[in-house]
Structure 1
Amino acid sequence: MPDFSPKTPSIHQYAPLPNLDLGPDLITPQYGGGSIANLADSVCQLLDVPTLGIGPLGDKLLSPVGEGVKRVVLVLVDALSYNHFCRWGEGIAPIWRDLVLKGTLAPITSITPSTTDAALTSLWTGQAPAKHGILGFEVWLKQYSMVANLLFHAPASFRGPHGSLEQTGFDPEKFLPVPTLGPHLRAHGVEPYAFQHRNILKSGLSSTFLAEANLEGIGSPSELWVNLRELLEENPHQRLYAYAYWGLVDTLFHLYGTDNERPAAEFASFSTNFERFFLSKLSQQAKKDTVLILTADHGQVYTPPNPHREIKNHPQLVNMLSMLPSGENRCTYFYVRPGQKENVRTYIEEHWPNDFLVIDSEKALQAGLFGPAPHHADAHNRVGDLIALAKKDAYFWWADKRNHLLGRHGGLAAQEMIVPFLAVRLDA
């Protein structure tokens, strides 16, 4: 039987940044060959296509797959931490345990911030956030004079329709300063496909990085797996990359917390459908020269509501800021008024002792926390003056609405940073 332990890898196995001490509680993204930012180039390497980003995963992770790969199927389960994958693979979703016997399973890291819009952009560009510029859920965009929600492409304070940011002249298809994977693969003879829920198939975020991908809308795991099986069966000789995204585990973690039965049940259903309608019915011809990868963008941390963590209850702190925070609840960017930086740092450390690591934004950027240089031209504007990195179950809440989330991510704790990388040849 495969060994799924240790459930959470030791924090000491991850190389620290030489000029930034994150302490014993936080994990540094492994951009040099051990992060989700390395997956795009890993796909390119497997398909014998030139790379376009910061480099692939290490050879120890890719070499067991072998050579002669013509098709890669990458399945991303939003918020599936390495810990949860191991636990569920031992119990409610044993098909993944069976596949580990035939392939490679390893823990890799998310990026900073460990959040969906930044992570998926890294997955489709091969670049870290400091380079592609998607640096959080809510980000100050100086050129539009507003804090924008980069997942929904709307002003962060608006409650109107998604995509309304385009009314400012924002063009999602031209927003990224780096090339994306779809056109790159197609230029080298590999057909790209993207399977996503119909609700987000042509969303603003998807439009940002899915250029030239064949978009396939799905509504359930069963539809995903049947459609994906048919794609492989109907195109047995086509070189292709098929990306499949499923987000309901993440949604249920947010709503119910990380140890609730509901997200576990959802992954069990997702896995049962995978085995029953995809893997067991896939012909040998369709399996030939095909690699399956399972991974995630980030994990989540249980964060019970706490009024003390709501910025509105700290007017003294608000008065020291030039605007409300941005970024992530667990990787928060503070824009401070002139001369108030040390006062803001002191206030956070005194009112939330041992809950946050507060660091200078420019120091974090230059140290490589958001990825190696060169950086996006506007990166320094998007991460503020100070960054508060959450420890344990800490977070900040500043939105003008009810604080209802029981699970969050964005920070550098092991539960949100360590995700699985499972690669297996289907013809093994």
Structure 2
Amino acid sequence: MARSSSRHPSRRYTNALATPHVVMPERIATSEHSNLAMAGADVTGYGDLAHMGRVVRKTLEAAEGPTYTYAYVPHIDAVSHQHGTESPQYDEMVATVLGHVERELIGRLDANVAENTLLVATADHGHLNTDPETNVDLNTIAGLHDHLQRRPHGEPIPAVGCGRNLQFHVREGHVEPLRDLLSAELDVLTFDREEYTSRGLFGDRTPSAHFEAHAPDLVAVHRDKFVWYDDGELNQVGSHGSLSLDEMLCPFAVCRLSDLQ
């Protein structure tokens, strides 16, 4: 949410942008990742969704100048992983999140602040619904480990990435045999280094030396299943990280908050 000064009747703001604010769950607000990713921002943790709505409203109302407030709400993603996006639990969580936003930012936010606040609602990815009963355990594919690079003590390097974006470090001369094995066992698309680089699947910038040192030799993406090791994740329904439209398309909505009041 961005707070501007162009139409506020009672305050004179400078053009300088104030310190950005981040509102996120308390359990991750002080994590190592958050400390790095949110460096320079004023981070406030929240306990539940009602608390989140109040913190965002009070943060907007207390702003002394143009600022940016980012509220991270992982609850919809979490319920999507567990139950999928076509479940009653998903509908209930979406309604709960929107209900708290409506109560605090539409029903209670100061009218002058709302007039000068742009609300942006979006997500970082979509979700593909998979079937836990038919998701695939990589350990059931006979001969898979024969094609993988080895660690110093001889054990094969397991696939990295995620169950919707499998990345393999492959023994020299084994890329095509592994591609053939995966294609025979699974409904997958596969990309070797040249193919995923030319298609920009890891971005359109020149690869760094660090990336080149860790880049996979083969990438495999399943059409509609989650393919991983049986470590508990095979039970999830909603998945993301691959090339289907459901996973790639994200909602994006923008409006002035006062237009909703």
TM above 0.5, yes or no, is yes
One of 158, 161, 167 as aligned partner of 1:324: 158
SS of 2:250's equivalent in the other structure is: strand
SS of 2:22's equivalent in the other structure is: strand
The offset of 1:329, in angstroms, is 0.7
Aligned residue number for residue 337 of structure 1: 171
Q: Matches of 1:426 and 1:402 in 2, distance apart? A: 39
The offset of 1:307, in angstroms, is 6.3
AA of the residue aligned to 1:419: C
8 Å Cα contact 1:307-1:313 kept in structure 2: no
- Unmatched runs of 5 consecutive residues or more in structure 2: 9-15, 150-156
Deviation digits for residues 215-259 of structure 1, max 9, x if unmatched?
A: 110122211111111111122x41111000111111111112221
Structural RMSD (CA): 2.4
Q: Matches of 1:383 and 1:204 in 2, distance apart? A: 25
Deviation digits for residues 292-327 of structure 1, max 9, x if unmatched?
A: 100001111111125672111123012111211000
The offset of 1:365, in angstroms, is 2.7
Q: Equivalent residues in 2 for 1:204-219 (5 A)?
A: 204-219=32-47
TM-score (norm 1): 0.53
Aligned residue number for residue 153 of structure 2: none
Q: Matches of 1:341 and 1:422 in 2, distance apart? A: 43
Q: Matches of 1:211 and 1:410 in 2, distance apart? A: 26
One of 101, 107, 110 as aligned partner of 1:280: 107
Aligned residue number for residue 291 of structure 1: 118
The offset of 1:375, in angstroms, is 3.4
The answer to whether residue 129 in structure 2 is matched with residue 302 in structure 1 is yes
The 1:363–1:285 alpha-carbon spacing in structure 2 relative to 1, beyond 3 Å, is same
Deviation digits for residues 111-167 of structure 1, max 9, x if unmatched?
A: xxxxxxxxxxxxxxxxxxxxxxxxxxxxxxxxxxxxxxxxxxxxxxxxxxxxxxxxx
Q: Matches of 1:292 and 1:209 in 2, distance apart? A: 22
SS of 2:125's equivalent in the other structure is: coil
8 Å Cα contact 2:128-2:246 kept in structure 1: yes
The 1:257–1:47 alpha-carbon spacing in structure 2 relative to 1, beyond 3 Å, is closer
Q: Matches of 2:25 and 2:233 in 1, distance apart? A: 27
The 1:308–1:249 alpha-carbon spacing in structure 2 relative to 1, beyond 3 Å, is closer
Aligned residue number for residue 86 of structure 2: 259
The 1:334–1:193 alpha-carbon spacing in structure 2 relative to 1, beyond 3 Å, is same
Q: Number of paired residues?
A: 245
Aligned residue number for residue 408 of structure 1: 239
Aligned residue number for residue 71 of structure 2: 244
AA of the residue aligned to 1:340: H
8 Å Cα contact 2:136-2:234 kept in structure 1: no
Q: Matches of 1:205 and 1:327 in 2, distance apart? A: 18
SS of 1:364's equivalent in the other structure is: helix
TM-score (norm 2): 0.85
Q: Matches of 1:69 and 1:394 in 2, distance apart? A: 50
8 Å Cα contact 2:193-2:216 kept in structure 1: yes
The answer to whether residue 183 in structure 2 is matched with residue 356 in structure 1 is no
One of 202, 210, 213 as aligned partner of 2:30: 202
Aligned residue number for residue 25 of structure 1: none
8 Å Cα contact 2:227-2:234 kept in structure 1: no
8 Å Cα contact 2:164-2:221 kept in structure 1: yes
Q: Which moves more between the two structures, 357-366 or 192-201? A: 357-366
Aligned residue number for residue 154 of structure 1: none
Aligned residue number for residue 154 of structure 2: none
Aligned residue number for residue 12 of structure 2: none
The offset of 1:366, in angstroms, is 4.1
Q: Matches of 1:276 and 1:386 in 2, distance apart? A: 49
Bigger radius of gyration, 1 or 2? 2
Q: Matches of 1:273 and 1:351 in 2, distance apart? A: 46
The offset of 1:360, in angstroms, is 1.2
Runs of 4+ that moved beyond 4 A: 67-70, 399-402
The answer to whether residue 222 in structure 2 is matched with residue 390 in structure 1 is yes
Q: Matches of 2:114 and 2:161 in 1, distance apart? A: 42
8 Å Cα contact 1:311-1:318 kept in structure 2: no
Aligned residue number for residue 249 of structure 2: 418
Aligned residue number for residue 79 of structure 1: none
Deviation digits for residues 240-288 of structure 1, max 9, x if unmatched?
A: 1100011111111111222111121011011111111221111222123
The offset of 1:381, in angstroms, is 3.6
Q: Matches of 1:406 and 1:278 in 2, distance apart? A: 32
The 1:401–1:418 alpha-carbon spacing in structure 2 relative to 1, beyond 3 Å, is closer
SS of 2:189's equivalent in the other structure is: strand
The offset of 1:388, in angstroms, is 0.8
SS of 1:200's equivalent in the other structure is: helix
Deviation digits for residues 179-224 of structure 1, max 9, x if unmatched?
A: xxxxxxxxx5332111100011112321231101111101222111
